[in-house]
Every structure is written in structure tokens, then in C-alpha cells.
Structure 1
Amino acid sequence: MRYVFKTSYDQDINLARDGAQRSWYAALLIMLLGAPLVLSDYWLSQLTFIYIYGTVGVGLMLLTGFTGQFSIGHAAFMGVGAYTEAYLLSHAWPFPLSMLVATMLSAAVGVVVGLPALRVKGLYLGFATLAFGFIIEEVMSRWESVTGGNAGRYVPPPSIGGIKITGSAGLYFLCLACAIGGTLVVRNLLRAHTGRAFVAIRDSEISAQSMGITLAHYKAASFAISAALAGLGGALYAHAIQFLSPEQFGFIQSIDLLLMIIIGGLGSLHGVYFGAAFLIGMPQIISITKDVLPPAMSQAAGLQSVLYGIVLIAVVMLEPTGMYGRWLKLRTWLELYPFYRRGMFKRQRSFQRSERFR
């Protein structure tokens, strides 16, 4: 097992723990850049959706996993970004500018929604964001001149410098760049004093306030950044599916996003992409296994929802740290083998939630 001895403060706040971790990240980046050369268009599109949901999930993880603000209406921010992108492109706006406006408008809406967070928290905040999601879904259904209503709206293909981004490879690289950029922004934010204030608010609002942290300012900032990333992901989602309808950003989508970060590992940016891979890969696994299941099970309505519920219960009861927590245990087991001790991963009491992923 490798131990890293830190001798300076700069070493403590580096993006990567050591040279080995930087090498692994570089190898992963090379693999992702070379994926279009070896994967078919179908699997490339699945990876693209993982990047899109990962971008949205990083923002939701910042809000819920690091700031402790509960949101079950996050798909509404995706809808704002998606419809803003479709509307502006249909009026001949440049693609980079339309993406920027979609992101900023979602952030502004996030600030408005974040205002109830100053007064309520926990379950009551969840109800407030749920009500906001219903309101936005109704607006998308009724405002036909902008959204197309229930008839839907076509999304024009993006173009940069007169060159249209068509085909699965072009969209793949665009979503990969946005996912990496969004993750680096949040990762750097968490290393700064703002991120430390978010974690302090999550652990104890009273203690954070006693240290001079302005709750209203940081809660609103957390909602704004989270909504901005959701709007960016929504704009990318609009280009991926090329046709928008209000039900795509409803309550079920919000639950899927929340399920993604819980199963991936609450409080971990790596866990977001584990959860996104689960969210996109689970329907594929179900469709493959339907052929070997009895007809009474394979043709039953709601099979996917039942399996999601079973997985969520199993994660909460057996592995609260999610898929990323399980990966950390497996990695430690491989590093220590054959000196693994059975009680090494026994649950221990954490006095603060910020100690869980140290």
C-alpha cells in the first residue's frame, strides 16, 4: 500500500494526490479521446449521455453532497437550459453564445429557487424545489410560442465558425470537454474557501455561522452554480436527443438525478460518474437480461422502477458510501493482498460528515 507524506500546504491542495494518480488520469483521458476510433455510434452515444448526466450530477453533488441542500426538482434547471438553447439557436444565435446564455439563465433561476433555502431546510426545502419543478414543467407545457408546448420543439444542430457539429463523434467530444471543464471548476471551488464554507454549512449551520460564514450568500451561490451546470447539461441534452418535450424534465427525471448521486456515492465527485454510468447502463442491462428471464417477469410493467428501488435499498443498507466507496475498498484490498484483514472495512463512527471521504 502506498503512503503519501505531505510536506507543504500546496501539496495538500493539489488536484491529484501524487504522480501515480496523475498518470492514471492521463491514461483515462487518452482512452476517452480514443473511444470514437474503437466504439460504434450506439456505444459512443451512451458514453455521451454519461458525460451529460455527469455534468448535471456534479452540480447536484455540489448542492446536496457538499452543501447539504436537498433538491428534488433539479430536472427543471435542465429544462430551462435545454429550451433556452433550442430557442436561441432557432433564432440564429451563435452556438457558444447560446450555451453561455442557457447556463447563465439557469443560474439566475437557481438563485431565485435558492431563496427558500434561507428560511427552510431538509424535507421542507425538498418540497419547495419539488413545487418549483412542477411550476417549470407547467410553464414549458403552456408557453407554446417559446417551447412548442406539448407538441415539442426541434433542436437545430450546433455549429462553431460555420462548421456544424454533426455525427456522434462531434457531440461526443463536445460533451466530454464540458464534463471535464465542469468537474474541474467544482473541484477547484471545493479547494478554495468557498468550498470549505459549503462543507461547513453542510456539517453544521450554527457552527458555520459562528465562524462568520454568511449562510444566505453561500446557499444562494451553491444553488446558482448547481443550476448553471444543470443548465449546461440540459443544453447538451437538447443536442443529444434533438427534440424536446416537457415530460422529459419532470419529476421522474429529478428522481433519477438524485438516485444517481446517492448510488454513485454521496460526497464524492468520482461517485457522480459511477452513478451516471449506472443510470445509463441499467436500462441496457435490463434489456439484455429480459431474454433469459421468465415471461411473467420480463413483460411486467415497471420492471426498471422495481430494480432501481431494490438497488437503492441495497446501497443505503449495505454500502452507504455508494459505488465509489465500494471501489475504494476493492482498490485497498488489491493493494494489501494477501495481507487483507477481514475487519478492515468495518463501519466506524465518523464524528463529522466531512471525515467520510478523507
Structure 2
Amino acid sequence: MRYIFKTHYAQDIQLVRHGGQVFWYSLLMAAMLAAPMWSGDYGLSQLSFVLVYAIAGLGLMVLAGYTGLASIGHAAFLGVGAYVETWCAVRGWPFPLSMGFAAALSAAVGVLVGLPALRVKGIYLAIATLSFGFIVEEVLARWESVTGGNAGVNVKPLQFFGTELGSEEAFYYVALVTCVLVTLGVMNLLRSATGRAFIAIRDSEISAQSMGIHLAGYKTLAFAVSAAIVGIAGALYAHKLRFISPDQFGIVQSIDLLLMVVVGGLGSIHGAFLGAIFLITMPQLIAMAKDWLPPAIGQATGLQAVVYGAVLMGFVLFEPMGLYGRWLKVRTWLELFPFYRRGMFKRQKSYTRSERLK
């Protein structure tokens, strides 16, 4: 078993904990860079979707996993980023500039949504974000002069300072670079004073406020950062699909994003990527399983929704830490075998002692 003895504060905030992580992350990056050689066209397309959804998952993870604010309307920010990117692409903006503009506008919208978070929380905040998602979807459908309405709009290929990046391989590398940069940005944010304030608010708003953390300011900032990251994912999402319409950013998409971070593992960077892999591969596994099911079940409408609901309920009841939490338990079992004790990961209360009388 690996023991890490820290002798300096810099060791506690460094991005990589030990040499083993450097090796495995370097190996993973080498495999991702070489993906066009071994994955094929279909596999490369699915990897691109995983990267796009992983970015969106990182945005929602900042809000729900690290700040503790529930949201069932994050598909609205995905839609804002997608439509802003489409509008900029028509006018010939280079992709880095248009993506930055999409992120900035999504962040501004996130600030507006974050205002209700100053007075409500829990299920009431979730309802507020859900209502906002309905409003954005309706605006996208009605503002036909900009969005094309329910008929949708075609999206031009990526433009990089006059060079058109229309191939699947080019888009994959753009998505990979963007995903790496966003991941590093989120990791640096979480180890900063702002990120630690987010985590303090998640763990206990009363304790955070008593330590001088301005709840209203940091909650609004969390919404803005989360919306900006999801807006970046929306910009990539638009170029990946090449066609967008308002119904792609409705309640179903929001639930998919929430399902992604819950199943992947709330409060972990790895959870966003594991959740994205789950979200992309699960429909394909369901389609394969239909061939083995009786026709009355396999051809029934709504089978995918039933499976998703059952999976979500199973994780909430039996593995609230998600796929990443399960991996941590497996890894610990392997490291401690045969001295592993069954009660090591006994589920604990999520509230602090100061809140037990509320």
C-alpha cells in the first residue's frame, strides 16, 4: 500500500500526488493522442462525444459536486453556448474567440440564474433552475430570427483563423485540447482559496459564513463558473452535431447531465469523465441488450428511460459516491488485502455536528 508523507504545504496543493499518477496520466494522454490510429471513425466520434460531455460534467460538478447547489436546468447553458457559437461561426469568427464569447455570455446568464440561489436552496433551488431551463428553451424556440426556431439551424465547421477544421479527426483534437485545458483550470480553481470556499459552502453554510466566507458572492460565482464551462461544452456540441434545435436542450438533456455527475461520482474530477463514458456507452449497451430480450420488452417505448431511472436509484441507494467511489473501494481492497475490513467505508452522515439540531 502507498503511503504519502507530506512535509510541505505545496505538497498538499500540487496537481499530481505521486509518480504513479504521472505515469498513468501520461499513458492515458498518449493513448488519447493516438486514438485516431486505433479507434476507427465511429470510435473516434464516440470519444469526441465523451470529451464534450466530460467538459459539461466538469461545469456541473463545480456547482453540484463542489458547491452543493442543485441544478436541473443546466442544459439551458449548453444551449446558450451552442447558439452563441453558431451565431459567431456564421459571421466567420475564429473558434477560440467565439468559444470565449460563448463562455462569457453563458457566465452572464449563469449570474442571473444564481440570484435565486441567494434565497433558496435544496429542492426549491432545483425547481428554480428547472423553470429557468423551460424559459430558455421557449426563448430559443420563439426567437426565430436568431435561432431558427423549432426548425433548427445548421452549424458551420470549426474555423481557426481562416482554416476550416471540418474533419472528425480535427474536431477530436480540438475537443481533446479544450478538455485538458478545462480540466487543468478546474483543478487549479479547486485548490485555490475560491475553490476551498466552494467546498466549505457545500459542507456547511453556517460554518463557512462563520469563517467570513461571503455566501451570496461565492454562490453567484459558482453559478457563473459552472455556466461558463458548460457554455464551452455547448460550443463544441454545436460543431459536433452540425445541426441544433431547441428541443435538444430541454429537460431530458438536463437530467442526462445530472445523471452523469451522480453516477460518475459527485465531488470528484474523475467522476465527470466516468459519468461521460457511462452516458455515451449506456444507450449502446441497451440497444445490444434489446436483441436478447423478449419482443414485448425490447421493443417497448421508454425502455431507456426505465433503465436510466433504475441505474440512478441504484447508485443513490447503494453507491452514493458513484463509479469513482466504487473504484476507490476496489483499489483499497486490493491494497489492503487480506486485511480489508467490511466497515471501512460505512456510510456517514453528510451534515456536521453544528447542524444536527436544525
Pairwise TM-score range, normalised by the shorter structure = over 0.9
Compute the displacement of 1:118 (Å).
0.9
Q: Which residue of 2 aligns with 1:197?
A: 197
1:326 aligns with 2:326: yes
Structure 1 residue 331 displacement after superposition: 1.5
Q: 1:35 to 1:192 in 2, by over 3 A?
A: same
| 3-state SS in 2 of match to 1:164 | strand
Aligned to 1:175: 175
Shift of 1:116: 0.9
One-letter identity of the residue aligned with 1:224:
A
Give the Cα separation in 1 of the matches to 2:192 and 2:133: 31
1:143 and 2:143 aligned: yes
What is the CA deviation profile of residues 277-318 of structure 1, one whole-angstrom value per residue up to 9, with x for unaligned ones?
111100010111111111111101101000011111111111
1:60-139 matches, cutoff 5 A? 60-139=60-139
**How far is the alpha carbon of 1:349 from its aligned partner?**
5.2
Alignment pair present for 1:277 and 2:277? yes
- What is the CA–CA distance in structure 1 between the aligned matches of 2:275 and 2:284, rounded to whole Å? 15
State the SS of the aligned residue for 1:85: helix
The letter for the 2-side match of 1:31 is A
Percent pairwise identity: 62
CA drift at 1:335: 2.4
Counterpart of 1:336 in structure 2 is 336
Tell me the CA shift for residue 340 of structure 1: 3.6
Shift of 1:338: 4.2
Whether the aligned pair in 1 keeps the contact of 2:94 and 2:162 (CA below 8 Å) is: no
Query: Does 2:28 correspond to 1:28?
Result: yes
| Alignment correspondent of 1:254 | 254
Deviations along 1:153-185, one digit per CA (max 9) or x if unpaired, are 000001213221122111111111111111111
Q: How many Å separate the matches in 2 of 1:56 and 1:271?
A: 12
Structural mapping, 1:292-303, within 5 Å: 292-303=292-303
One-letter code of the match for 1:132?
A: F
Q: Counterpart in 2 of 1:288?
A: 288
**Which one-letter code corresponds to 2:82 in the other structure?**
A
Residue number in structure 2 paired with 1:17: 17
Mark the CA change 1:351 to 1:2 in structure 2 (over 3 Å): closer, same or farther: farther
Find the aligned partners of 2:346 and 2:163 in 1 and give their Cα distance.
56
2:102 and 2:112 map into 1 onto residues whose CA distance is: 16
Counting matched residue pairs gives 353
TM-score (norm 1): 0.96
Displacement of 1:94 in angstroms is 2.2
The aligned residue for residue 356 of structure 1 is: none
Instruction: Return the letter of the residue paired with 1:305.
Output: A
Report the residue type matching 1:249 in the other structure: F
Q: CA deviation at 1:341?
A: 3.8
Distance 1:350 1:102, change over 3 A: closer
Q: Which residue of 2 aligns with 1:264?
A: 264
Structure 2: gaps (5+ residues):
354-358
| TM-score, scaled relative to structure 2 | 0.96
The alpha-carbon deviation at position 99 of structure 1 amounts to 1.0
Q: Residues 15-65 of structure 1: CA distance to partner in whole angstroms, max 9, x if unpaired? A: 111111111111111111111111111111111111111101111111011
Q: Distance in 2 between matches of 1:245 and 1:238?
A: 10
- Mark the CA change 1:115 to 1:21 in structure 2 (over 3 Å): closer, same or farther: same
One-letter amino acid of the structure 1 residue matched with residue 246 of structure 2: P
How far does the alpha carbon of each residue in 1:94-132 deviate from its partner, in whole angstroms, 9 at most, with x for none? 222111111100011001111111111111111111111
RMSD over equivalenced CA pairs, Å: 1.4
Instruction: Identify if the C-alpha distance between structure 1 residues 348 and 81 changes in structure 2 by more than 3 Å, giving closer, same or farther.
Output: closer
* C-alpha displacement of 1:143: 0.4
